[in-house]
């Protein structure tokens, strides 16, 4: 580890919830989740970690304290232990200016994969912010710099740091940054840059001003939103609460287990004779082998209301409503995250024997269709978009739009709510494929739809309920 002069502006501080105390085997640092023993101890190490238990320690003070007792050889050991504390989220580091002890920015590790590698900032070297780094206001009201490439987050605590981040949008040296930021010294700018590079939010550039990530074939194929979504909905690169935390319990009421019907024109669908269906159904292995996306339809004999009724009944009906704890839940033919069943089925009928064209909502409890609107230019737009998604081969006889009532999931789950919704879409797609294949229909899952248009069509709040998937269905040509 190279200890550079600018380290005088960087300090280490124990993270809240961490305690350091003497025990027989050495100094022990303990948090609610981890325990690190610092042993064997020299007099210098003992002094440093005893002081750290009481107050933040600057790198300059740490270095001078250890060197004052002629223990220069223990510097590496000292920083190895500090690295361990940081990796276990028991310690963080911050940078100050020459004129104030108030932090300008603080680096908080967020996983045990964090690597505390010291960076030697060279005044003539250009640096640049990663395209994956982003700053946002957190629920705590503070401003945070984060990145899916990082195992840490940076609390931005000054306008100077925010301006520095803006300037790092292009390749620039620390000396140029100090000049552009006016009164701030080169050492202070270097300290902030050091935290950015340790956190993996920025990096040194090549001679042509490019970052190594821009030459990385793997990273080039990740879009910002995809990599961010992946990293934040999986454990490993953040320390946010994850899973069924019920964070809105006793604060907000959960959405009703069944969407309340709001359209007066209702069509009762015939209930299929499931015993007969099961007696003549092909084997699961047969259905799976012949499952395929089919984009051609028999428009001389379009899908019938009886077929559509059987399909919806087998795929999406409510089989049972029950209570678990303080939650009302349902059982349905397909598995759903925490049995929340946030997905709703809306049908845009283009051609069907027994059903008029229009946009309908399927009530999974009553097994009915409610007419939302008759055909118009907006329902036509849904069908055109679906046709384009199927490479323009044909128009679906029935377009099933899967919409999510998002708060059904986010009321219970934290960090993973939207990821669970997309998994539910995939599970329902698979169920639809198997049932359609068993029934001899033509199924095709689609990859894209206009969520804004759909929210307007059903009269919903985009942030409360809108489309997350589309599925085309129709009668199959005999030669397909």
CA angle, 282 as apex, 277 and 288 as ends, to 5°? 120
∠ at Cα 444 (448, 383), nearest 5°? Answer: 55
For the chain, domain boundaries: 5-232, 250-475
Higher local confidence (pLDDT), 3 or 267: 267
- Residue 233's closest CA among 425, 419, 424, 421? 419
**Mean of the per-residue pLDDT values for the chain?**
93
> Taking 80 as the threshold, does the pLDDT of residue 2 lie above it?
no
The token pair at 38 is: 């610092």
pLDDT tens digits, residue range 336-388? 999 999 999 999 999 999 999 999 999 999 999 999 999 999 999 999 999 99
Q: Quick: pLDDT tens for 109-131.
A: 999 999 998 888 998 999 999 99
- Count of other CB atoms within 10 angstroms of residue 459: 11
Q: Within 13 Å, how many C-alpha atoms sit on residue 11's CB side? A: 20
CATH code of the domain made up of 250-475:
3.40.109.10
Whether the Cβ atoms of residue 402 and residue 466 lie closer than 8 Å to each other = no
Report pLDDT digits (tens) over 73-117.
899 999 999 999 999 999 999 999 888 889 999 999 999 999 998
**What's the mean pLDDT in 64-68?**
92
CATH of 5-232, one of 3.40.390.10, 1.10.3720.10, 3.90.930.70, 3.10.150.10: 3.90.930.70
**204, 162 Cβ separation under 8 angstroms:** no
pLDDT at 4: 39
Tokens standing for 404? 């999510």
pLDDT of residue 71: 86
- Domains 5-232 and 250-475 are alike in CATH topology: no
Q: What is the pLDDT of residue 1?
A: 43
Q: What is the pLDDT of residues 414-429, one digit of tens each?
A: 999 999 999 999 999 9
At residue 8, the pLDDT reads: 67
The two tokens of residue 419 are 């990821």
Q: Can you give the three-state secondary structure of 371-399, one letter per residue?
A: EEECCCHHHHHHHHHHHHHCCCCCCCCEE
Measure the CA–CA gap between 478 and 286, rounded to whole angstroms: 18
pLDDT at 126: 97
Q: Which residues contact 478 (CB under 8 A, 6 or more apart)?
A: 298
């Amino acid at each position: 580890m190279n200890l550079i002069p600018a380290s005088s502006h960087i300090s280490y501080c124990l993270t809240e919830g961490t305690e350091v105390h003497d025990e027989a085997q050495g100094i022990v640092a303990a948090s609610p989740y981890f325990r690190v023993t610092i042993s064997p101890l020299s007099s210098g190490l003992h002094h440093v970690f005893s002081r750290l238990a009481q107050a933040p320690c600057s790198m300059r003070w740490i270095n001078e304290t250890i060197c004052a007792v002629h223990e220069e050889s223990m510097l590496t050991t000292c920083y190895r232990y500090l690295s361990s504390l940081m990796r276990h989220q028991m310690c963080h580091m911050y940078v100050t200016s020459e004129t104030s002890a108030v932090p300008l920015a603080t680096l908080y590790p967020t996983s045990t994969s964090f690597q505390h590698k010291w960076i030697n900032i060279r005044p003539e070297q250009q640096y640049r912010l990663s395209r994956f780094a982003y700053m946002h206001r957190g629920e705590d009201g503070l401003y945070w710099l984060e990145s899916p490439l990082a195992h840490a987050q940076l609390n931005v605590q000054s306008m100077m740091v925010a301006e520095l981040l803006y300037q790092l949008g292009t390749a620039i040296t620390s000396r140029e940054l100090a000049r552009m930021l006016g009164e701030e010294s080169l050492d202070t700018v270097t300290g902030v840059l050091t935290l950015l590079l340790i956190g993996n939010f920025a990096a040194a550039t090549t001679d042509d001003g490019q970052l190594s990530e821009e030459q990385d074939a793997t990273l080039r194929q990740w879009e910002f939103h995809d990599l961010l979504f992946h990293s934040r909905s999986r454990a490993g690169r953040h320390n946010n609460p994850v899973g069924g935390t019920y964070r809105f319990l006793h604060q907000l009421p959960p959405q009703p287990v069944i969407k309340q019907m709001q359209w007066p024109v209702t069509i009762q669908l015939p209930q299929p004779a499931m015993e007969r269906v099961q007696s003549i159904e092909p084997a699961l292995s047969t259905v799976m082998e012949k499952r395929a996306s089919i984009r051609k339809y028999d428009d001389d004999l379009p899908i019938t209301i009886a077929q559509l009724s059987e399909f919806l009944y087998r795929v999406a009906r409510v089989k049972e409503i029950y209570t678990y704890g303080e939650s009302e839940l349902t059982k349905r033919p397909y598995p759903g995250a925490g049995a929340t069943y946030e997905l709703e089925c809306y049908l845009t009928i283009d051609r069907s024997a027994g059903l008029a064209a229009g946009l309908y909502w399927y009530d999974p409890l009553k097994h009915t269709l409610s007419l939302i609107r008759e055909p118009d230019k907006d329902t036509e737009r849904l069908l055109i978009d679906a046709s384009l998604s199927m490479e323009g081969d044909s128009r679906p006889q029935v377009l099933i739009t899967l919409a999510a009532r998002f708060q059904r999931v986010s009321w219970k789950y934290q960090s993973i709510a939207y990821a669970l919704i997309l998994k539910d879409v995939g599970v329902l797609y698979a169920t639809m494929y198997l049932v359609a294949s068993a029934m001899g229909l033509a199924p095709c899952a689609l990859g894209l739809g206009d969520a804004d248009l759909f929210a307007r069509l059903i009269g919903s709040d985009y942030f409360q309920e809108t489309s997350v998937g589309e599925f085309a269905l129709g009668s199959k040509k005999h030669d397909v």
